[in-house]
Structure 1
Amino acid sequence: MWTFLVVLAVLCGSSQSESINKNLVNKNIERIIDLSSQLVKITSTITLENTGTDPVLAFHVYTEPNTIGSLSFISARDSDKTELKLTKIKDGEDIYKVKLNSPLNAGRTTNVVIEYVYTNALTPYPVSITQKDRQLVRYFGSHYFYSPYKTTKQSTTLTLNSRAIESYTKLKPVSQSDSTINYGPYHNIESLTHDQMTVHFESNAPFLSVTRIERLIEISHWGNIAVQENIEILHSGAKLKGAFSRYDYQRDTSGSHHSIKSYHTALPAAAHSIYYRDSNGNISTSQVRIKKDWIELELRPRFPLFGGWKSSYTLGYSVPSYQYLMKSASGQYLLRMRLLDHVFDDMYVKELETSIVLPIGVQNIKLNLPYDVERLPDTVTHKYLDTMGRKVINIRKTNLVEQHIQDLEIIYNWQPLLLLHEPILLTLALYALFVVVIIYVRLDFSIHKPEHSKKE
C-alpha cells in the first residue's frame, strides 16, 4: 500500500512539473514559412510575456497535430542567438520543453526563435503528370501558431517557389504579392487553436530524396581516413505518367522543369582520390571544382530523374587523418568527424547507416553523439593482414536533413606499437616464403638417381 502511494505521489509530482504555466502569454508571434524547396522550414519569433508573479524557467512548444511524424529537426535560441536546451517530454507526440538561459521574471518579456524543419509536408497534386506538365504541390498547415498559451498578436508570411499559385485559403486579413502570401495580423487567439491553411502552387524545386546511405569511415593511423558512401536516391515528386521522350526532353530549353539532371555535393576541402561510380562503372560526366573552403562535386546521373525514378551510386574519397584525429596529453585519441555529410542542398535522407572502422587493438572506446541515434551492435571486420580484427561501430538514424550534419566524437586508447603489426606480419610471411623456396630448391624429389652417381 505504501509503495503504491509513493509511486502515485511521484507520478503526480512529475505530471505537475510538466504542467502548462497559464501565466505565460505569446505577446507577439511572427512566423515565416519557407516553401521554396522540398522541405518546409518554419521560423517563429515569439515574444513571451510572464503575466504571473513567479519567475518562469521554461516553457512548452507544440507542433501542429497533422505534422506528427514529419518533424525532422527543431531548435530554439534566444535574442542573443544562444541555443536553448530542448527536451522532448512525451514519446509519440512532438511536445518539447524549452529551458530559458535566465529566468523570466514577473511582468517581463523575452524573445525566442523556434525553427522547425518538416519532411514529406509538401504533397504533389496531381500525383501523376506527363513529361510536359507542370508540377503542382499542396501544403496543409495552420493559420494560427499552435501553442499551449494564449496569443495576443500573430502574423504569418509564406514564401513559395514560384508566382504560379493555383489557390490558397483566404482567412482575412490576407494578401498576396508575387510568390509571397501574408496572413494576419490576427489578435487574441486562444491556446491550442488550429485553423487549416491550404496552399496549392507550382514548384519545380528538386524533390530528390535519399532513401538510404551506407556511410563507411575507415580510420588509419598511417595518416589517412577513407570515406565511402553507397547512396540510393529517388525523385519523390509527382510521378511520370506515360512514356519518356528523349527527343522532347532535349528540345525543352526552359530552365523550369520538374526533372533532375544533376546536383552538387560538397566534400571536405582536403579530400583527395575522389571516385564516383554506379553499377555500370565510373561516371565521367561528374566534375570536381575546388572552392575556398570545400570541394564541389557536380554529379550527373546517366539519365534524368523524373517522379518515381531511382538511381544509386558509390562516392568515395580520402582525407588526411591529422585534421580529424587528435591525441591528448593523457595518451587518448579523439576522432571528430561528421556523422552525416552533405549530399545536395535541401536534402532529405530517409535512412542513414554509418559504420566507423577503428584501428587494430583500440580499447576503452567512448562515443559522443550530437543527437539521439540507434546504436546497432558492434561488429568486427578483417582487412589486409589483419589477424586480430578491427572493431566497427554501427549507427542508424532516420528522417534527416542538413541540420543533422554534425560531428560525432570517438575517444579511445591505442598503442602506437600496433603500427608494427602489419609490417611484422608481412616480414614473417616473406621470411617463411623464402625458407620454403630454399628448402624446395635443395630437396631432390626424383625417383631414380642421376647417371653420374651410378658410375661412381
Structure 2
Amino acid sequence: MSIELPAKSKMRIFVVFLLFISAICGSTNVDTISGEVKIKNVDRIIDCSSQLVKTTSKITLENTGKAPLKNFLLAVESSVKDNLSFLGVKDSNNKDLRLSETVVKGYGDVRFYRVDLKDPLNVGSTAVVVAEAVLTKALQPYPTAITQQEDQLVKFIGNLYFFSPYHVTSQKTNVILNTKTIESFTKVKPFSQLDGTLVYGAYANIGPFTEKELSVHFKNNSPFLTVSRIERLIEVSHWGNIAIEEKIEIEHTGAKLKGPFSRYDYQQDHHSGPASVRSYKTFLPASAADVYYRDTNGNISTSNMKVKKDSVELDLRPRYPLFGGWKTHYTLGYNVPSYEYLYHSGNEYLLKMRVIDHVVDDMQVDELVTKVILPEGAHSIKANFPYPLTRLPDTLHYTYLDTQGRPVITFTKRNVVENHIQDFQLRYTFPTIFMLREPLLVVASLYTLFLCVIIYVRLDFSIHKEAHVKAN
C-alpha cells in the first residue's frame, strides 16, 4: 500500500533536503586543482636522525595563469597522512602562512591543505615558500627485537618524489641519517651517498600525485621515547602563584629487548645497551621554583637541576634504564609566579600559558590532557587555542574553603610534538570582591570557634548543684 503525498508536501520536503545539503557543503572547504600553478623547483630535506621524521621542502611557485594567484594547495599522500603530526608553511620572509584543511573531489584518500599567500603572486612571477612537516612513528625498528649489546636498526619508507597536485619541473631530495651504517637504501639514478646523507636527484618533469617508494634501512640509536599520556594540571591562584603538575607515562618504543638484562654489564661497559635511555633532559620555565620529581615509590633523587637565564634544565634519570618495550610513570611539579602569565584589567582576566611544555628532545606524545583550575567564582570563560584541540565539558574542583567549587577547563589532543609548544589564552571574569571570600571565611570560622568555646566555658552542664552549708 503506497501513500501519495500532496504536491505542497513534496515541495517542502525537497526544499528541506536542499537546505540540508547546502549546510553540509557550506561547513566544508571544497577546492579545485588549478592548472595555472606550476612548481618550478623543490629542494627537500628528510631528517631521519631522531625518532621523528622532519621534512623541509623549499618550494618555488610559478604563476602561469592570467590572474594573480592568492593561494595554492599542499597534498599529503594516504600512506603517511595518519603519521602527520604538524604541518606549517612560511614565506621568504620567514612569516607563517595561513593553512586550512580542505577537500578536492575525486581524491578521497589524499589530505589537502589550502595555503593563503600574504601577497598575491602576479602573472609570470615566482615565489618561494618553505613547508615543514613532522611525522611520528614513521621509523619502524627492523629487526623488532635486539639483545643488550646490539645496535638498533630502523627502516624508513616514504616517497622518493615530492607529492604534489601540481607539475614539478625539477626536484632534489637529501635524506639525513647521521650514520654511515646503512644496511640498504633505494637506488634511483641520479643518487649519491655523502657520509650520513643520501642525495637523490635532480629529477625533472615529475607529474602530479607521482609516488615511488623510498626505503632506507639504517642504524639509529637515538632515544625512542614516546609519552603515552601526559596529564597537565594548571591551578591558578590570584594570590600570586600558579601551580603546575604533570603526570607522565613514558615508554621506550624502539626495538624490544631480547634475552636477559645484565645490570653488571650495563654498569661496567658504557657501550652496553646503545639503544637504551639512561637519562633525558626536560626544560621548565626560567621562573620555575619548588620543583619535585617523584613516582609511586616516592621522590627520585637521581636527577640534577641547572638554572639558566631562559629556562630551568632538569636532567631526569629514572630508577632504571629504559629498553625497548619498558615503561615508567612519574609526576613532575613546580610553581611559577602568576604575574608572568596572568593579566587583568578590572574584573577581566587573561591567562596565557603553554598548552604543553618540553618533556624530552624530539618528543612525541600520543595523548595530551590539559586541565586549568580557575579560582572559585570565575565565570564568562572563553578559550582561544593556537591549533585545533578537543575541549571537554567543564567540571568543578573542590578544595579547602570552597563552597561552590572551582571551574575546571579541560582540553585534549593526540599526536603532539615540539612544534605544538605554543600558548593558549583563557579569558574570564572574576569580581575583585571575591578575593575577600576566603579570608572572611577564615575569620568567620575562627570567630565561631571562639564563640563556641566561650559559651562552653560559661555554661554549667552539671545535673545538680552542690549544696553549700553555711557555718554557724
Instruction: Verify same fold: TM over 0.5.
Output: yes
Task: Show the counterpart of 1:384.
Answer: 400
- 1:50-449 alignment to 2 at 5 Å? 50-90=63-103, 93-254=110-271, 257-328=274-345, 331-449=347-465
Structure 2 unaligned regions, length at least 5:
1-10
Map Cα deviations across residues 309-361 of structure 1 (whole Å, 9 max, x no partner). 00010000000000101113x64111100111111111101101000001111
2:4 matched to which residue of 1? none
Q: What secondary structure sits across from 2:274 in the alignment? A: coil
Matched residue type, 2:282: T
Contact 2:266 2:272 survives alignment (8 Å): no
Matched, 1:23 2:29: no
Q: Is the 8 A contact 1:165 1:202 kept in 2?
A: yes
How far did 1:435 drift? 1.5
**1:271, 1:295 within 8 Å by CA — same for their partners in 2?**
yes
Distance 2:21 2:461 in 1: 89
* Matching residue of 2:5: none
Write the distance in 1 (CA, Å) between the matches of 2:23 and 2:318.
58
Task: Work out the CA distance in 2 between the residues paired with 1:388 and 1:16.
Answer: 43
**Do the aligned partners of residues 246 and 305 (structure 1) sit closer, same or farther apart at CA in structure 2, a change above 3 Å counting?**
same
- The alignment of Structure 1 onto Structure 2 pairs a total of residues equal to 455
Q: How far does residue 251 in structure 1 lie from its aligned partner after superposition?
A: 2.1
Equivalent position amino acid for 2:248 in 1: I
Q: Deviations over 1:188-242 (max 9, x none)?
A: 1111000000000000110001000110000000000000000000001001111
Q: Structure 2: how far apart are the matches of 1:7 and 1:326?
A: 44
Instruction: Provide the C-alpha distance between the structure 2 equivalents of 1:419 and 1:230, rounded to a whole number of angstroms.
Output: 30
Question: SS of the residue aligned with 1:89?
Answer: strand
Deviation of the 1:161 alpha carbon = 3.5
Structure 1 contact 146–191 (Cα < 8 Å) conserved: yes
Mapped partners of 1:238, 1:380: distance in 2: 43
C-alpha contact 1:37 1:161 (8 A) present in aligned 2: no
Residue 116 of structure 1 and its aligned partner are, at CA, apart by: 0.1
- In the TM superposition, what whole-angstrom CA distance separates every residue of 1:60-93 from its partner, at most 9, and x where no partner exists? 1011221021100000011111111100114975
Quick one: distance in 2 between partners of 1:162 and 1:189?
30
Tell me how far apart the structure 1 counterparts of residues 349 and 65 of structure 2 sit (CA, whole Å).
51
Q: What RMSD, in angstroms, separates the aligned Cα atoms of the two structures? A: 2.2
What amino acid is the match of 1:445?
Answer: F
Amino acid at match of 1:400: V
My pick for the range that moved more, 221-230 or 56-65, is 56-65
Q: Give, in angstroms, the shift of residue 14 of structure 1.
A: 10
CA distance in 1, matches of 2:469, 2:84: 91
CA distance in 2, matches of 1:352, 1:92: 27
* Residue type of the alignment partner of 2:199: N
Cα 1:87–1:16 change in 2 (3 A) is: closer
For residues 334 and 10 of structure 1, the distance between their equivalents in structure 2, rounded to whole angstroms, comes to 35
Aligned-partner residue type, residue 377 of structure 1: P
Post-superposition offset of 1:447: 3.5
Q: Which amino acid aligns with 1:149?
A: Y
Partner Cα distance (1:363, 1:188) in 2? 59
Shift of 1:13: 10
- In the superposition, relative to structure 1, how do residues 441 and 299 fare at CA in structure 2: closer, same or farther (>3 Å)? same
Instruction: Give a deviation string over 1:389-425, Cα, whole Å, max 9, x none.
Output: 1100011111000000000101111112211111111
For residue 66 of structure 1, give the secondary structure of its aligned residue in structure 2. coil
Contact kept in structure 1, 2:155 and 2:218, CA below 8 Å: yes
Tell me if structure 1 keeps the 8 A contact 2:149–2:272.
no
The 1-side partners of 2:450 and 2:304 are apart by 47
> How high is the TM-score relative to the length of structure 2?
0.92
- Asked if 1 retains the 8 angstrom alpha-carbon contact of 2:150 and 2:273, the reply is no
The answer to whether the 8 Å contact 2:278/2:317 transfers is yes
Report if aligned partners of 1:124, 1:237 keep a CA contact under 8 Å in 2. yes
Secondary structure (helix, strand or coil) at the match of 1:65 reads coil
Contact 1:204–1:256 (8 Å) recurs in 2: no
Q: What is the one-letter code of the residue matched to 1:404?
A: H
**Alignment-mate amino acid for residue 69 of structure 2:** V
Unpaired stretches in structure 1, ≥5 consecutive residues:
none
What TM-score do the two structures reach when normalised by structure 1? 0.95
Change in Cα spacing, 1:189 to 1:360, as seen in structure 2 (3 Å) is same
